[in-house]
Each structure stands twice: as C-alpha cells, then as structure tokens.
Amino acid sequence: MLQSGIVSLGCAPAIHAKARTPNILFLFADQHNARAMSCAGHPQLKTPHLDALASSGVRFSRAYCQDGICVPSRTSMMTGKYPRTTGVLDNADAPPLVSELLPLQRYLREQGYLTACIGKRHLKPGTAEDFDYSATTISPKQDPSDENYDDWIHKRGKAEAWARDHAGSLKEPMGCHISELSDDETPEAYTAQKTVDFLSRARKSGKPFFCWTSFLRPHQPYTPTATWARLYDPAAVALPGNLREPADHLPPMMARWRANRNTPWSLALAAEDESLYRRYIAYYYGLVAEVDYHIGRIMDALRREGMAGDTIVLYAADHGDFVGGHGMIEKCALGHNVYEDTLRVPLIFSRPGQIREGRVCSELTELVDLYPTLLDLAGLPRPSGYELAGRSLRATLEQGAPVGRRAAISENWSQLTVITDRYKLGHWIEPPNPKYDYRRHGDMLFDLVKDPLEVNNLAKDPKVGEIRAGLEKTANEWSARTPARAKELSAPRALGLRAAQKNKR
C-alpha cells in the first residue's frame, strides 16, 4: 500500500489528470542496462531523447525486473503477477493456467482501447494475444503477427545481410561485427516506422490507444550499422571497475563462461585481448544510441499527430546486460539472478500536466508495478476478481508520495533475490545444472552502498549475520504470501512449492 505522507521535493502542487481517457505509449527495449543512459549519469553514452523523456517526467533509478530473462520478465510485467504465480520462470515455460491470467492489453482492449504490439513481443500463447495490430521483429513462428520484419527485409533484398547479423554473429568472438544493413533497414528502424504509421491510424480511429513498442536491441547480436558503430571508439570506452574480478568469485556457470574460448561468448579470449571487450561495449553503446534515436522519431510523430498532451509515455526494459561487468557479456540468465547489471532496469514515466517533471525517484520499484500504475493513471478500475501483485506509483508520479516498498524481489527458478535500500541477498533454490556446485558456492550478499560493483560477497561474514537473517525473513514472508503454480510446473522449476514447503517447516 502506498503511504499517505507527502515528501516535499520543491515541485509545484500536484496537477490532476484530464477527463479524457489517455493514450498509453509504452516504449520498451530488450536488455538495456539501467546505467547506460546519460540521464542516469553515464560518462560517455549519450541518450538525448531518453534524457528529454526523463526531464519531462519521473525517472525511477532503482527499478527491478522480476526475472532477468525475456519471457518470464515480460509475462510478469504484462500480467501484473510474479513469475512463480504465472508459472513462467524460464524462456521455455508456458503459463500452466492461462485462464487465471489477465494480460494488460486484454483488459485495456475490454475498456475500449485500440491495442498494438510492434517489435519483439516474446510472450507465450495465452498472454500474447488481444492486440488489434501487431508487427514482430523476431521469428513469426515464435511470435505470430499481422506483419513481420523477416518478410519486410526479404522484400528489400537484404535477408542475407540480416542472417549474417542474426545467426552469423554466433560464429564471431563476442557476437560482434558491423552490419551490412543500411540505417533504415534495421529491426529498430522497422519498429519505429511501424509505430509512426500506427499512431496516424490511431488518431483517426477516435479511440484511445495502447501501443507497446518493443525494440529488439540492445540485445545481442551486437551488430550495429556503421553509423552507430562509429559513435563510440572502442579504444576510448571506459571499462568497468570489476572487469577483472576473479572468476572464482562468481557463480559456477558464470565462472565457466569466463573460461570459454569458443564463439560467441569468447570471454577467455577477451581476457587475453582486451580489444574484444572494448569492441563489444562500444557496439552495445551504439545499439542503445540507435534505440534512443528511434524513440526521438516516435516522439516527434506523437507531437505531429497532436496526441502528446493526451498520452502517457513510459520507457522500460525487460532486463539488463553485463556490458563487461564482472568480466561478463549479455546476461547468462541460467547462471544467476542476482547482479544489478541484469536485474536493474530503466524506468521513466511522462505525461505533460499530470506527472511531475524532472524528478528522479530512488525508491525501490518493480516492473510488476506497471500494470496497476497505468490503470490508475488512465482512470480505469481494477479488474474485478483479479489481484495485481504490484503497487500503483500514481501518487509518487503526481504528488511525490513515497513508494513505500521495503524490499524488491526478483527470481528465476534457481535463485531468489531480495533487494533493500542497502543490501541484497541472492539465495539459491535449485541449481540450474547438477554438475555445477552452487551449494558449495553459497548464497550471495552484497552491501550496495560500500560495494556498488558487487565484488565482495558477505554471505558468510558473521558481522552481517543479523542483516542476512533479516533478508531471509523478508524472503520467507514474501514466499509465504505469494501464490505459486508449482504443482503445474516441471520438477526442476517447481521453486514455488519447494519454497512454500520450506517456509512451513
């Protein structure tokens, strides 16, 4: 529940929402590290359009995804329930009881919204439907849509160039090369153009719209076009301070990746040849810059259509990327679910005249909060009989009220992580693979104030025994009150049932 107190932030009094039902433009990226924005203080990366969005609204600097991998995170976000409740804890999982889930787009459609998903949807049947229009940038077999990037790029005669980016990069160290596509042929350009086209149709429809624009990047392959690749000189990029962290500090699967010499995640080669790390980081920055550029195109179109004042705009990502942190690449999702690099995500809300401008909120928030927040901002009732796990951020956005969350939770089927203002505990529930000795490695506890790079595991330090006990209590209380669909899950993923049983002992 939101607390009732108001924090004075030197802002004007809250401005009440307009009577008109607002549009919702949900701008989204895949694998965007929360630090990788200039408005978040990045010293090199420039994101002027995300900066402009943040300056016109509220940026949450400590927003966390509910699972550091695509499908579980997206499913949790779009259904408003935690992964153990949806039953989706890994990319291969489908919700075992889809009849109990009410995806956001379905509810908005029932409320009279014109709905669209443009770009990478990456949801399972039962949660992926109910969009009036869709255009995907991943395999149309995996993500059935009205239109798709594969057909579009084939008609332009560039299917082979995209195949070299998408599949060919797997044969290259760190999955990196410069794309042969032109700037207007990338999945990001396609996603932006289809969104611009949809905005025009939406204005003419006379209905409020919900548009989820979901960019494929900066997710691998790290294959920017020459325009975006040249923005950041690999030789000049700043390397993370924990790039050379000893591999034996890391969970077993991550340590194994660090020893890998094969493509694409050739981290042992990168340890010997730092230029491989530098190129990967520079290309990642280039892909973030490309997403930022196309967000600018979409925002320009929203203004041209005269809908900017009637539209809630938000930006988020499903999870992050290591960008060299801990000497790692991409997310190694089966190897952990604990590090800031992959669990903390960008989150920005903006709407002129309703949401306060230029504020940064450092309180704990979660992607599961988006569903109730959007309903409250739009003036819509909560779905009858459908419990939303998150909390509405409306009072925070409009009045500066505290979020009031004591701890944020993120989980995959192997590791449950509890995050507080200062500390973080990652508890192993089920090793991802029996051949990796996670039990011997042990749980992971970090002091995020003294150790923001998360290199000093305090889990076995008796000096923080009371802190660990408090975090474990928080985890147990959360597990006990959070519904789980463990009985319908395959045995290796039945973490909810095991956690509930353990708590009852």
Is residue 41 in a domain?
Answer: yes
The answer to the question of residue 432 being in a domain is no
How high is the pLDDT of residue 441? 87
**What does the alpha-carbon distance between residue 261 and residue 257 come to, in Å, rounded to a whole number?**
9
CA 324 to mean position of chain CA atoms: 18
Instruction: Please give the Cα distance from 178 to 234 (Å, whole number).
Output: 13
**Tens digit of each residue's pLDDT (9 = 90 or more) over 263-311:** 999 999 999 999 999 999 999 999 999 999 999 999 999 999 999 999 9
In a domain, 65, yes or no: yes
Amino acid at the residue 183? D
pLDDT tens digits along 335-354? 999 999 999 999 999 998 99
Which of the four pLDDT bands, split at 50, 70 and 90, describes residue 432? low
Residue 17 DSSP symbol: P
CA distance 441 to 81: 30
382-421: string of b/e by CB count within 10 Å (b at 16+)? Answer: ebeeeebbbbbbbbbbbbbbebebebbbbbbbbbbbbbbe
pLDDT tens track for 125-156 = 999 999 999 999 999 999 999 999 999 999 99
**Residue range 83-98: mean pLDDT, rounded:** 93
Backbone angles phi, psi at 381, to 5 degrees: -70, 155
Q: Which of 15, 50, 20 is nearest to 34 (CA)?
A: 50
Q: 34 or 3, which is more confident? A: 34
Residue 61 lies in a domain: yes
**Cα 134 to Cα 123: distance, rounded to the nearest angstrom:** 13
Confirm whether 137 is domain-assigned: yes
Tokens 């004075």: give the residue.
Answer: 8
Q: How confident is the model at residue 14 (pLDDT cuts 50, 70, 90)?
A: very low
Residue 262 belongs to some domain of the structure = yes
For the chain, how far is it from start to end, CA to CA, in angstroms?
29
Instruction: Say what the pLDDT of residue 504 is.
Output: 35
| pLDDT value, residue 439 | 74
- Is the pLDDT confidence value at 492 over 90? no
Measured from the Cβ of residue 43, the count of other Cβ atoms closer than 10 Å reads 6
Domain count, the chain: 1
pLDDT band of residue 72 (cuts 50, 70, 90) is: very high
Whether the predicted pLDDT of 73 surpasses 60? yes
- Kindly report the CATH number assigned to the domain that includes residue 181: 3.40.720.10
Beta strand pairing call for 344-345 and 209-218: unpaired
- Summary mean pLDDT of the chain: 92
Structural domain span for residue 369 = 23-401
Structure tokens at 433: 């693979």
- 17-59, pLDDT tens digit by residue? 345 899 999 999 999 999 999 999 999 999 999 999 999 999 9
* Its pTM surpasses 0.95: no
pLDDT computed for residue 19 by the predictor: 53
- Percent of the chain whose pLDDT exceeds 90: 88
Whether 237 maps to a domain, the answer reads yes
Residue 5 within a domain? no
Helices and strands, number each (H, E), in the chain: 17, 16
